[in-house]
Amino acid sequence: MNRFGLISRYPLVVAALIAALQSAAILYVVESRASVLRHGQEVLLQTAPIDPRDLLRGDYVVLSYDIAEIPTSLVFGSWPLGEKRQAIHVRIAPGEGGLWKVMQASFDPLPPAEGTVVLKGTVSYVPDRSTGADLRVAYGIERYYVPEGEGREIESARNEGRVSVAARVSAAGQASIRALMLDGKPLYEEPLY
Partner 1 sequence: MYRQKVKRELAGWVERGLLPAETAERLSRDLDTRRDGFSIGQVLLMLAAAFMAAALLLFVSSNWDVIPRIVRLGGVILLIWIFHLGGARFYQRGMPVLGAALLLLGTAAFGGGLSLAGQMYHIAGDMTQMLTVWLGAAVLTAGLFRSSAVAVAAGLIAYGLCWSLLDASNGAFTIINLVVPPMLAALILVLSRWVQDAKIAQFSFLMLLCWAFWLYTLDENVILGVVYAGLGLALLAAVSLSASPVATLAGRMGGVPAFYALLLAGLGVLILLIEYHKGMALMVAAIAGLLIAVGALALAGRDHGGVRWLAYSIIAAIVFDVWVTTIGSILGTSGFFLMASLVAAVLAFLVSRLEKRFAAKRALAP
Q: Rounded to the nearest whole angstrom, what is the least distance from the CB of residue 12 to partner 1 in the complex?
A: 5
- Least distance to partner 1, CB of residue 76, Å: 25
Which CB, 60 or 76, lies closer to partner 1?
60
Task: HSE, CB side, 13 Å, CA atoms: give it for residue 191.
Answer: 1
Tell me whether residue 7 or residue 157 sits nearer to partner 1 (CB atom): 7
Shortest Cβ 63–partner 1 spacing (Å): 8
**Nearer to partner 1 by C-beta: 143 or 162?**
143
The answer to whether the beta carbons of residues 193 and 168 sit under 8 Å apart is no
**CB closer to partner 1, 11 vs 71:** 11
Question: 97: which residues sit within 8 A by CB, 6+ positions away?
Answer: none
Whether the CB-CB separation of 51 and 71 falls below 8 Å is answered with no
Considering the complex, what minimum distance in angstroms separates the CB of residue 51 from partner 1?
13
Q: How far apart, in whole angstroms, are the C-alpha atoms of residue 60 and residue 148? A: 9
Q: How far apart are CA 108 and CA 91, in angstroms?
A: 12
Name the burial class of residue 9, with classes exposed (0-12), middle (13-18) and buried (19+) by CB atoms within 10 angstroms of its CB. Answer: exposed
Residues forming contacts to partner 1 in the complex (CB under 8 A) are 1, 3-7, 11-12, 14-16, 18-19, 21-23, 25-27, 29-30, 33-34, 37, 54-60, 83-84, 122, 124-125, 138, 140-148, 176-177, 191, 193
Identify residue 86 by its one-letter amino acid code: Q
- Nearer CB in complex with partner 1: 92/141: 141
